[in-house]
Structure 1
Amino acid sequence: MTETRWDDEIATIRRLRAERTKVGHGERPAVVIVDFQKAFVAHEKSGPSAAAALSNTAVLLDAARAAGVPVIYLVMILDSLEDRMLAQRVRSSLTERCERGNPWTEISDVVAVQPGDHVVEKTVATGFYKTRLHDLLTELNIDEVVVVGTSTSGCVRATVMDAAYRNYRVSVVEECVDDFRTVSGEVSLWDMQDRFGDVRSLEHMLGHFAALGRRREMAAPA
């Protein structure tokens, strides 16, 4: 039996991800921040990658707001722990810290909500299940969701899938997502690029927002 060399496997999927055809951007993006709450970025298994994703996201949000791109926060808020899906009630889960009023549910100060931003509560991994997210995106006339947050293989991937099912263009910013399950995160980035949307670099997205901001300034009435 041949032994799997995981470093080689990761290198292969990164190459495939870079080569995969891109869907492309829309004209009316919104940034959707998935679960950058203390429960998910400051827990016992959090490491330097979580801090880096938060810091990178703060840079992205400055660029988005400067370009007039809406910012939407998804937060896991439970009125009761019994509201969780069965698997999370059976197994130990960080969602145990997500009851309404628990300080763990607060959004990280690194990416704090600003005036004009939107906050959408959810109870499961995806931001679309029994929430107002789709209605909000429709009201804002959004055609592209730029997804950041945690975890890459969990709530980020679930939200990306549901956005793709609703025919939004999807861009996942690689440096702005995090997963303490390193291999799961890498595989999920490849899976999302392969099936549901585009995985983009922070540098690319900053350039995209800057260009969008310039176009909007030129189109604005004098």
Structure 2
Amino acid sequence: MTDWNHEVERIRQLRRDRTRIGPGEHPAVVVVDFQRAFTEHEFVGPSTPVALKHSQQLLEAARAAGVPVIYLVMILDSLDDRMLAQRVRSSLTERCERGNPWTEISTAVPAQPGDHIVEKTVASGFFRTRLHDLLQELGVDEVVMIGTSTSGCVRATVTDAAYLNYRISVVEECCDDFRTLSGEVSLWDMQDRFADVVSLEWMLERFARA
């Protein structure tokens, strides 16, 4: 029988030891789906307010350093715009029709003047959105990823960012997933294949030097 506690410790060590890609010269912070639908739902656990608090700290540091901040938000003109799996199965995206108060960005991490908001209809922030064009306009070569859920929309956006050859830094303390094991595995998967998983402390120190 698999000892899952041992497996989690093993992948955490693998993540720490994995070769780093390294940061870029012109980062932007991409905030994934920190909307009420995904931060106030009935399955939210104690990790969510902690991730939001850490994210607010990171966002304040990014803005002070002149780093662009981009919010990704799930907005659907029709629930039929969702991918097939979400139309067949019950999903929190049922709360994401345009005009529904659940689509609002969490008051714990509010957008500020000068921030950018990009609407999306699926997990990835790049699929049929203006995100890549916006990043190019801003001269960005690295995306600093925070948000929810680690195993869903964060991972999907990271994967597509990697395919577009962005450098990617996933800030561990600023990502949340109520599926605890899925979140842990996804952090290892992203570190192994697509990105650097970094600490909040490291990113704050970096922004302070900018």
Q: Could you say whether these structures have the same fold, taking a TM-score greater than 0.5 normalized by the shorter chain as the test? A: yes
RMSD: 0.4
Which residue in 2 is equivalent to 1:111?
Answer: 109
- The structure whose Rg is larger is 1
1:118 alignment partner AA: H
**CA-CA distance at 1:47 after TM superposition:** 1.2
1:96 alignment partner AA: E
After TM superposition, the score normalised by the length of structure 2 is 1.00
Show CA shifts across 1:127-162 (max 9, x none): 000000000000000000000000000000000000
Show CA shifts across 1:101-127 (max 9, x none): 000000001100000000000000000
Map 1:174-193; keep pairs closer than 5 Å.
174-193=172-191
1:54 maps to 2:25: no
1:151 alignment partner AA: S
Which residue in 2 is equivalent to 1:161?
Answer: 159
Show CA shifts across 1:72-112 (max 9, x none): 00000000000000000000000000000000000001100
SS of residue in 2 equivalent to 1:109: coil
Gaps of 5+ in 1: 213-222
| Structure 1: distance between partners of 2:22 and 2:61 | 19
1:146 alignment partner AA: V
Which residue in 2 is equivalent to 1:10?
Answer: 8
1:131 alignment partner AA: T
Which residue in 2 is equivalent to 1:202?
Answer: 200
Identity, % of aligned positions: 74
**CA-CA distance at 1:211 after TM superposition:** 1.4
Aligned length: 210
1:80 alignment partner AA: S
| Structure 1: distance between partners of 2:174 and 2:105 | 15
| Structure 2: distance between partners of 1:205 and 1:21 | 18
**CA-CA distance at 1:9 after TM superposition:** 0.2
After TM superposition, the score normalised by the length of structure 1 is 0.94
| Structure 2: distance between partners of 1:98 and 1:199 | 29
Gaps of 5+ in 2: none
Greater than 6 Å deviation, 4+ residue runs: none
SS of residue in 2 equivalent to 1:31: strand
SS of residue in 2 equivalent to 1:69: coil
SS of residue in 1 equivalent to 2:108: helix
| Structure 2: distance between partners of 1:124 and 1:211 | 35
SS of residue in 2 equivalent to 1:162: helix
1:30 alignment partner AA: A
| Structure 2: distance between partners of 1:203 and 1:48 | 21
SS of residue in 2 equivalent to 1:10: helix
